[in-house]
Amino acid sequence: MNRNGRKWWRTNKHKLEPARQNSPSPYAHLTLSKETKENLQTLQDIYSKCSDVIFRPFYIGKTIKAHVVFISGLCTVQDVDQYVLTPLMQANENEFPDMEQMAEQVLAVSRIKNLATIADCIEEIGSGNPVLLWEGEERALSLGLAKWEKRNIEEPSAEVGIRGPREGFTETLDVNTSQIRRRIKDPALKMERMKIGGYTQTEVIVAYMEGIVDQTLVEEAKARLNRIQIDGILESGYIEEMIEDNPASPFPQLKDTERPDTACSALLEGRVVILVDGTPFALIAPVTFFALFQAAEDYYQRYIISTAIRWLRYLFLGISLLLPSLYVAIITFHQEMVPTSLLISMAASREAVPFPGLVEALLMEITFEALREAGVRLPKQIGAAVSIVGALVIGQAAVDAGLVSAPMVIVVAITGIANFMVPRYSVGTAVRLLRFPIMFLAGTLGLLGVMLGLIAIVVHLCTLRSFGVPYLSGISPLKPKEWKDILYRSPWWAMKTRPHFTGEFNQYRQAPDQKPGPERSEDP
């Protein structure tokens, strides 16, 4: 123990203190003074060596000196010229003695904000709004002319569908909120704005439906977001990792979506949607394991088919998790399980293979994972080459050379396809990862190992919560009312209640007895 009462192995003389301050801005205390020169000097000091910040001095009318400060590229120069410089220069300063009147009558800009401190000015300039400084005024004026190059609304590439809207979120927050607002016009849709990230000052929006959502959930979400103290948020993944319930889990505890329709349906179910500026991926909380297997299109196609497809997904989830392990377990320990004729053909193809089942499986699975990862990161033109090499070398040549057996290739291929059946990439990757430990267990303990691994995963899923909602909610704890969207996708006229997460909620989403039939309406 040293003097500070810390243990000797903990003493670290040169340890840096972690940043306590969320915002690095040291200008918060600076107010604007009457002397424009001073203000200007402060701003110029702050923005020294920032070649993209433009200071434009001019005269309002003929006598009043003014400055407009903006960042080039974050607003269009034409707008500044046309709506700010031209009218102000041509105005008669004697007609409008103070700034407010001038703004009201001359400036043709709809979003205008009074600024009192330097920090406010910096914030506005940073977000692209030109700031107007004025001789003899203690205030500055922010002009909402921010406009920058943005990507067009495109079809979401990570969540493709046959039927359903084709537009996806973009990197621009305003576009994303407008896409949601266009679908849900009611003012009960609330969007609370906050800024996270010391340097990036990223705008984050917490959207929810007032009256549907459990208010404690919103409070919890906001509290968790407010806790974040980080230098920057560049993607919603940052936020996801900072607010999830159990960080030590391969399973995602928030759903990410690129589709506004998915986000809106989540809002209408009483979930909270978190939109982050700079990324097309919105976060949805809370989420259950089964909600991650619902694709947007399930709700647009006929319910019978959607139900069947959902079951296909569950089946292939099992296959993608267990098939290689089951194969390894069976060829290593439980040959008696296989019907005799199949066993003979399997044995024949494995005859020349020099590896034990586990090694063979690992070899193939790891190669497959490598191929897949290579295919994702490569430029599209080279991607084709990877798949050709993969198919020919790994598939054909490896079998011909007797390195792996043909059934193993089939198993790997089916596993690969099965993994693509999971509609959420983030769950798919979790399952992808978990199949390796189970393969080891299968290679050492056979079916017992597979079962132990499976039980461990289920127990882990049972411990998980997403914003307090049990991850397997619906199946365990058992809620038969929730089965309408888990075991089957019930038709819309039968989906009477919203899913229940926590606390009080607005239960009914539609009027009863809407099942359509051949009878004509009595009053047309």
CA 58 to chain centre: 45
Query: Scanning residues 277 to 336, which ones bind other proteins (CB under 8 A)?
Result: 333-334, 336
Query: Scanning residues 192 to 211, which ones bind other proteins (CB under 8 A)?
Result: none
Q: How far is the CB of 339 from other proteins (least distance, A)?
A: 7
Determine if 452 is a binding residue for other proteins (CB under 8 A). yes
Length of the chain: 524
Q: 478 - beta bridge partners?
A: 474
Q: How far is the CB of 475 from other proteins (least distance, A)?
A: 6
- Provide the token pair at 260: 């506004």
Q: 209 - beta bridge partners?
A: 189
Q: How far is the CB of 379 from other proteins (least distance, A)?
A: 44
Nearer to other proteins, 336 or 523 (CB): 336
How far is CA 418 from each of CA 162, 230, 296, 390, 395, rounded to the nearest angstrom? 20, 38, 19, 18, 18
Q: How far is the CB of 357 from other proteins (least distance, A)?
A: 16
CB 119 within 8 A of CB 27: yes
Which SS3 state, helix, strand or coil, does residue 477 take? Answer: coil
Q: How far is the CB of 479 from other proteins (least distance, A)?
A: 10
Using the rule CB under 8 A, which residue among 28, 448, 503, 507 binds other proteins?
A: 448
Using the rule CB under 8 A, which residue among 472, 486, 498, 505 binds other proteins?
A: 472
Determine if 163 is a binding residue for other proteins (CB under 8 A). no
Return the range that interacts with other proteins (CB under 8 A); candidates 269-277, 291-299, 359-367, 455-463: 455-463
- Provide the token pair at 449: 């190992």
Omega within 30 of 0 (cis) for the link into 470: no
Return the range that interacts with other proteins (CB under 8 A); candidates 151-159, 261-269, 367-375, 468-476: 468-476
Size of the site for other proteins (CB under 8 A): 26
Nearer to other proteins, 47 or 440 (CB): 440
Nearer to other proteins, 419 or 473 (CB): 473
Using the rule CB under 8 A, which residue among 477, 492, 507, 514 binds other proteins?
A: 477
Nearer to other proteins, 228 or 461 (CB): 461
- Contact string 326-365 vs other proteins (x = CB under 8 A): -------xx-xx-x--------------------------
Nearer to other proteins, 164 or 470 (CB): 470
Q: How far is the CB of 263 from other proteins (least distance, A)?
A: 29
Nearer to other proteins, 423 or 446 (CB): 446
Determine if 462 is a binding residue for other proteins (CB under 8 A). yes
Nearer to other proteins, 96 or 333 (CB): 333
Determine if 186 is a binding residue for other proteins (CB under 8 A). no
Instruction: For residue 487, give every residue at least 6 positions away whose Cβ sits within 8 Å of its Cβ, in sequence order, or none.
Output: none
CB 198 within 8 A of CB 229: yes
What is the helix (H) or strand (E) element at residue 9, kind and residue range?
none
Determine if 455 is a binding residue for other proteins (CB under 8 A). yes
Nearer to other proteins, 300 or 314 (CB): 314
Residue 275 and residue 206: Cα distance in Å, rounded? 7
Instruction: For residue 510, give every residue at least 6 positions away whose Cβ sits within 8 Å of its Cβ, in sequence order, or none.
Output: 492, 493, 495, 496
Which SS3 state, helix, strand or coil, does residue 171 take? Answer: coil
- Residue in the block written with tokens 């004729």: 341
DSSP H helices, 421-469, are 425-463
Omega within 30 of 0 (cis) for the link into 339: no
Determine if 478 is a binding residue for other proteins (CB under 8 A). yes
Nearer to other proteins, 242 or 452 (CB): 452
How far is CA 171 from each of CA 136, 227, 293, 520, rounded to the nearest angstrom? 40, 24, 25, 48
Which strand ranges, in their side-by-side order, compose the sheet holding 131-134? Answer: 53-60, 64-71, 131-134, 140-143, 112-115
Nearer to other proteins, 392 or 455 (CB): 455
Nearer to other proteins, 444 or 506 (CB): 444
Return the range that interacts with other proteins (CB under 8 A); candidates 67-75, 120-128, 164-172, 447-455: 447-455
Nearer to other proteins, 197 or 449 (CB): 449
Residue 281 and residue 170: Cα distance in Å, rounded? 8
Rounded to the nearest 5°, which phi and psi values hold at 111? -100, 110
Using the rule CB under 8 A, which residue among 355, 445, 502, 509 binds other proteins?
A: 445
Using the rule CB under 8 A, which residue among 161, 423, 443, 470 binds other proteins?
A: 470
Nearer to other proteins, 370 or 478 (CB): 478
- Residue in the block written with tokens 């004509």: 520
Q: How far is the CB of 334 from other proteins (least distance, A)?
A: 6
Q: How far is the CB of 20 from other proteins (least distance, A)?
A: 32
What is the helix (H) or strand (E) element at residue 376, kind and residue range?
helix 357-377
Residue 360 and residue 156: Cα distance in Å, rounded? 38
Determine if 1 is a binding residue for other proteins (CB under 8 A). no
Nearest Cα to 427, choosing from 306, 313, 297?
313
CB 106 within 8 A of CB 88: yes
CB 80 within 8 A of CB 108: no
Q: How far is the CB of 470 from other proteins (least distance, A)?
A: 7
Using the rule CB under 8 A, which residue among 456, 468, 502, 509 binds other proteins?
A: 456
**Helix/strand/coil percent split, the chain, to 5:** 45, 15, 40
**Contact positions vs other proteins (CB under 8 A):** 333-334, 336-337, 339, 445-452, 455-456, 458-459, 461-463, 470, 472, 475-478
